[in-house]
């Protein structure tokens, strides 16, 4: 499946954010300070900048890591903090995206090393490549969606940076050179040279950033477009992200002159010149982004309308435009009586479910778009996690309701006993049933000590076994105290099992208790070796597992991702072989992760009634790619 960033470029103009350093400087950070270190020292400043650009409508936000390579950090005695600074930067950007709920993409910002390569300088190309790769790997570990290598003045250095990124991953790369007033890079490369050098490297977008203002960069982009046309038209998209004009010293502060209105006009001209990624660099602010947002949205809408009018009569175009102005029609509501769709499908087909985490803020758009993508590829149900890792997120029940009523696919609600008293558990379950959310995975829940509120009080009136009993009693028409609820509920009750635990006898005992309490199906923690499941079945007793099983598979993204999951995430244990395969995969980590997931799915399919996929970092397209093996 095509990467989301590449798909968006093909669909229309994509809007990137503006300057990070300008905003931090405006917040009072001295120019001589290490802006990248703020990710660790003053993260609230960095988060506020991301928040402002997301609110302004950016489709892509860049991490605060422009100077976070080893050579530049060594100038601040921070050379040993490359991993920490880059990982934290991605975390800050991802958290603000999740809070906003907008389907923005996170770009790992990679700037120049500020060392001149041999033969003119003392830095060897292989050294630069190693320095870049170290930063790329840290950004990957944080979970970036793409990489932006920017403000590079020398094609040799850009080539080393791109190759370092390709050595480490297959994420889309945006390669942005900086140009002087004469339309050439600092090293004297022409726009045509840039195209000729970077197209063979397989970058997703090429272009210009920083430099001077829009007036100087637009001709550069036009020249790149002409060169691409000479080469046959196919190739990377064009990108343009200029400074807000020349900086000036006013009252001891650096000021950029170009107004938001001027940048709105720039966005219009850049789109007309063929740019598909536009944004701002030094001196631009969320106000500039907001002004460009209006233009980009209008431009994309006009392009769609033009495409429609070229293939349909005027009356039909009017009808389509009228339909597009109406809110997306709601699918039929799921029935609230009788067996759930999940229950009906189990045993009749290999059921496919994919997990979605609720947003950390008020906007569920990204989660809903993910659910729509998954529905389109044939997923039977969406699992919605309940504040995993004890971190505050939107109510899982609310997101389940939105997905079922706006997307039209059934959900499986993860429901923990961590945050609710026995009375509160039953009240919420009655409400869930009333709105048609009737597939429930009974969980105890991660303790608050793992999350952002370690002093928060956990309830745990009952554990997951007790919750299964509560659900079973509701299905019998009574609450836990024996009082009638008017009629029998129709919950499909799922329970969890971790076949990777060291104490398999205890895990088997708890699973027996859950089944005896009335669980209808079992969902496993992630498995990375079919032998792990067989080993658990030998302990549990194969003949004793009489309910359907959905095996859990979490596709790995990279070796660092694998090590993080294995060493730092409760409930996930990888095999040595899985970790070694990811280590050997190197830059092809994502493809290897998909391949491993597909192999596991093929091996486990004869021993289960469905699969439960858990894509990391909200990359639902990865889940879709894994599921191609079933088609």
CATH number at residue 67: 3.20.20.330
* Mean pLDDT, contiguous 10-residue spans, the chain (631 residues): 90 96 93 95 96 97 97 96 97 92 95 86 90 96 96 94 95 95 88 95 95 87 94 88 76 72 94 96 95 95 60 35 36 57 93 94 92 96 86 91 97 93 94 96 83 74 94 93 90 96 94 96 94 94 94 92 84 88 91 94 92 92 93 77
What's 498's DSSP letter? -
Contact in structure between 603 and 530 (CB atoms under 8 Å): yes
Residue 483 placed within a domain: yes
Between the alpha carbon of residue 102 and those of residues 17, 150, 179, 492, the distances in Å are 14, 24, 33, 32
Range of the domain at 606: 341-630
pLDDT at 80: 96
> ∠ at Cα 403 (401, 409), nearest 5°?
110
Q: What is the pLDDT of residues 264-300, one digit of tens each?
A: 999 999 999 999 999 999 999 999 999 999 999 999 9
Contact in structure between 94 and 106 (CB atoms under 8 Å): yes
Residue 333 placed within a domain: no
Contact in structure between 253 and 281 (CB atoms under 8 Å): no
In the block, which residue shows the tokens 């091996």?
Answer: 603
Residue 191 placed within a domain: yes
Residue 336 placed within a domain: no
pLDDT at 250: 56
Number of domains in the chain: 2
CATH number of the domain enclosing 573? 3.20.20.220
Q: Are residues 276 and 370 in the same domain?
A: no
- Last residue within a domain, chosen from 259, 290, 308: 308
DSSP string, 501-547: -S-HHHHHHHHHHHHHHT--EEEEEE-S-HHHHHHHHHHH-GGG--S
Q: Are residues 371 and 453 in the same domain?
A: yes
Q: Are residues 292 and 417 in the same domain?
A: no
Q: Are residues 436 and 550 in the same domain?
A: yes
Q: Are residues 283 and 353 in the same domain?
A: no
Residue 278 placed within a domain: yes
Q: Are residues 463 and 538 in the same domain?
A: yes
pLDDT at 117: 85
- Last residue within a domain, chosen from 285, 308, 331: 308
Predicted TM-score (pTM) of the model is 0.80
pLDDT at 248: 62
Residue 521 placed within a domain: yes
Length of the chain measured in residues? 631
Q: Are residues 389 and 505 in the same domain?
A: yes
**Closest residue by Cα to residue 560 from 168, 95, 92:** 168
- Last residue within a domain, chosen from 259, 291, 308: 308
Q: What is the pLDDT of residues 439-473, one digit of tens each?
A: 999 999 877 766 666 767 778 889 999 999 999 99
The interaxial angle of helices 155-168 and 125-142, nearest 10 deg, is 50
pLDDT at 251: 57
Q: CB burial class (10 A; 0-12, 13-18, 19+) of residue 115?
A: middle
Contact in structure between 207 and 275 (CB atoms under 8 Å): yes
Q: Are residues 261 and 371 in the same domain?
A: no
Q: Are residues 191 and 97 in the same domain?
A: yes
Q: Are residues 140 and 224 in the same domain?
A: yes
152: enclosing H helix or E strand? strand 146-152
Q: Are residues 377 and 419 in the same domain?
A: yes
pLDDT at 328: 38
pLDDT at 336: 43
Q: Are residues 294 and 388 in the same domain?
A: no
Q: What is the 3-state secondary structure (H, E, C) of 441-476?
A: EEECCCCHHHCCCCCCCCCCCCCHHHHHHHHHHHHC
Residue 325 placed within a domain: no
Residue 318 placed within a domain: no
């Amino acid at each position: 499946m095509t990467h989301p960033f590449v798909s968006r470029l093909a669909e229309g103009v994509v809007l990137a954010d503006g300057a990070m350093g300008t905003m931090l400087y405006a917040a009072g950070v001295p120019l001589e300070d290490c802006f990248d270190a703020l990710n660790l020292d003053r993260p609230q400043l960095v988060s506020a900048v991301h928040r402002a650009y997301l609110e302004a409508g950016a489709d892509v936000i860049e991490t605060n890591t422009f100077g976070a390579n080893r050579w530049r950090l060594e100038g601040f005695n921070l050379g040993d903090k490359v991993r920490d600074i880059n990982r934290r930067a991605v975390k800050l950007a991802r958290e603000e995206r999740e809070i906003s709920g907008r389907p923005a993409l996170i770009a790992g910002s990679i700037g120049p090393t500020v060392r001149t390569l041999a033969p003119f300088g003392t830095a060897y190309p292989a050294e630069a490549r190693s320095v870049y790769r170290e930063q790329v790997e840290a950004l990957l570990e944080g979970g970036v969606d793409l990489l932006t290598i920017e403000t590079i003045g020398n094609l040799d250095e850009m080539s080393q940076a791109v190759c370092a990124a390709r050595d480490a991953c297959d994420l889309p790369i945006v390669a942005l050179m900086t140009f002087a007033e004469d339309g050439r890079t600092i090293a004297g490369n022409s726009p045509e040279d840039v195209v000729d050098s970077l197209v063979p490297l397989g970058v997703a977008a090429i272009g210009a950033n920083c430099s001077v203002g829009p007036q100087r960069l637009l001709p550069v982009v036009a020249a790149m477009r002409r060169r691409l046309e000479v080469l046959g038209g196919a190739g990377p998209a064009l990108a343009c992200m200029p400074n807000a004009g020349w900086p000036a010293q006013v009252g001891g502060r650096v000021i950029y002159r170009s107004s938001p209105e001027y940048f709105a006009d720039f966005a219009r001209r850049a789109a007309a010149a063929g740019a598909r990624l536009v944004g701002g660099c030094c001196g631009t602010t969320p106000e500039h982004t907001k002004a460009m947002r209006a233009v980009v949205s209008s431009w994309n809408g006009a392009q769609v309308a033009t495409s429609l009018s070229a293939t349909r009569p005027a009356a039909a175009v009017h009808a389509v435009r009228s339909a597009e102005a109406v809110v997306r029609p709601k699918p039929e509501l799921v029935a609230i009586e009788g067996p759930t769709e999940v229950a009906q499908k189990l045993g009749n087909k290999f059921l496919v479910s994919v997990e979605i985490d609720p947003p950390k803020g008020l906007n569920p758009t990204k989660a809903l778009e993910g659910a729509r993508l998954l529905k389109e590829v044939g997923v039977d149900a969406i699992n919605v996690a309940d504040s995993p890792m004890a971190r505050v997120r939107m109510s899982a029940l609310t997101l389940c309701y939105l997905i079922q009523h706006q997307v039209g696919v059934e959900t499986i609600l993860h429901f923990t006993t961590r945050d609710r008293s026995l009375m509160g558990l039953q009240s919420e379950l009655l409400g869930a049933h009333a709105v048609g959310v009737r597939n429930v995975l009974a969980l105890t829940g991660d303790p608050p000590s793992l999350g952002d509120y370690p002093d928060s009080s956990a309830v745990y009136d009952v554990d997951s076994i007790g919750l299964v009993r509560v659900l079973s009693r509701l299905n019998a028409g009574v609450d836990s105290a024996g009082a009638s609820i008017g009629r029998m509920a129709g919950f499909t009750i799922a329970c969890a099992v971790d076949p990777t635990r060291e104490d398999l006898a205890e895990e088997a005992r708890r699973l027996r208790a859950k089944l005896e309490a009335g669980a209808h199906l079992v969902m496993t923690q992630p498995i990375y070796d079919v032998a792990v499941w067989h080993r658990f079945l030998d302990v549990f007793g194969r003949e004793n597992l009489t309910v359907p099983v959905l095996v859990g598979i979490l596709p790995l993204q990279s070796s660092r991702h694998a090590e993080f999951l294995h060493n730092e995430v409760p409930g996930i244990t990888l095999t040595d072989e899985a970790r070694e395969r990811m280590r050997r995969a190197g830059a092809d980590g994502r493809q290897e992760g998909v391949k491993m997931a597909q192999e596991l799915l093929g091996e486990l399919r004869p021993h289960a009634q469905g699969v439960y996929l858990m894509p990391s970092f909200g990359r639902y397209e990865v889940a879709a790619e894994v599921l191609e093996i079933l088609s």
